[in-house]
Amino acid sequence: MARSPRGEVEFRYTPREGEDVVTALARARAQDVVQGEPVRSFGSHAGMGHYPGWWWSATAQDHVGYESLLERDRLMLADFDPAVTAIASQPFGISGRDGDCVRRHVPDYLLVGPGNVTVVDVKPFEQLRRPEVAAVLSWTGRLMAARGWRYEVWSGRRGDAVDECSVHLARPAPGLAPWTCHGCAGGAGPSGANDW
């Protein structure tokens, strides 16, 4: 396992073959990462305050993990979005300096489509006001922008789209009419989901 050079942001992901790959964020390839495994496991035990699980994704043609019902909701929207062609959960870990401190973070999702890479963090709205959470999300956003990847923090505040669209359980099979949700914001359908 190679280490990233001193001073660069370290980027770690786990390919399907197993052993972690460590490189610099500037050299990370989204196509390699999205085909890998989550970099951390989804634990569960009695009395947990959230509900982890696995969503069967029509996009990934595999199960994709989530750590909370809020994450599951964002995952559902990504799965219905025709602009998303690959989805990875807990896709990579980053670590590096942010001023005087060292930060580490694992985003929730990596969404990839033709010419588009989006890194998604899912946080309940109430947590966004916490200074330590805001600092990590801000740092991650700056890093993703420098890498040329889109960054999204999703809090589920636009629950109307999820509520209206959650009755659809899967993307239509190939050859069927494209999925449309008239309840989504402005009738735009799921492809506008990345902007929420």
In a domain, 107, yes or no: yes
What pLDDT is recorded for position 52? Answer: 85
**SS3 label, residue 54:** strand
* Structure confidence at residue 181 (pLDDT): 37
Question: Is the pLDDT score of 70 beyond 80?
Answer: yes
Mean pLDDT estimate for the chain: 81
Stronger pLDDT, 163 or 81, i.e. the higher one: 81
- Lowest-confidence pick of 48-62, 127-141, 178-192: 178-192
pLDDT of res. 118: 97
Q: Determine, yes or no, domain membership for 112.
A: yes
What digits encode the pLDDT tens for the residues 134-187? 999 999 999 999 999 999 999 986 544 554 444 344 444 444 444 333 333 333
Residue 196 lies in a domain: no
Task: Compute the distance between CA of residue 63 and CA of residue 67 in angstroms, rounded to an integer.
Answer: 13
Q: Average the pLDDT over each of 2-11, 22-31, 128-137 and give the range with the smallest value.
A: 2-11
What is the reported pTM?
0.78
CA gap 113, 86 in Å, rounded: 7
Q: Which domain holds residue 121?
A: 54-190
Distance between first and last Cα of the chain: 37
Predicted confidence band at 54 (pLDDT cuts at 50, 70, 90)?
confident
Q: What average pLDDT score do residues 64-92 get?
A: 95
- Decide if 146 is inside a domain: yes
Helices (H) and strands (E) in the chain, counts: 4, 10
Whether residue 89 is contained in a domain is answered as yes
Split at pLDDT 50, 70, 90, the class of 53 is confident
45 found inside a domain: no
The total number of structural domains in the chain stands at: 1
- Whether residue 12 lies inside any domain: the answer is no
pLDDT (average), residues 35-63: 82
> Is residue 154 situated within a structural domain?
yes
Q: How far is CA 154 from each of CA 17, 37, 183, rounded to the nearest angstrom?
A: 31, 22, 19
- Could you tell me the CATH number of the domain that includes residue 136? 3.40.1350
DSSP letters along 110-133, please? EEEETTEEEEEEE--GGGGGSHHH
Lowest-confidence region among 17-21, 46-50, 92-96, 103-107: 46-50
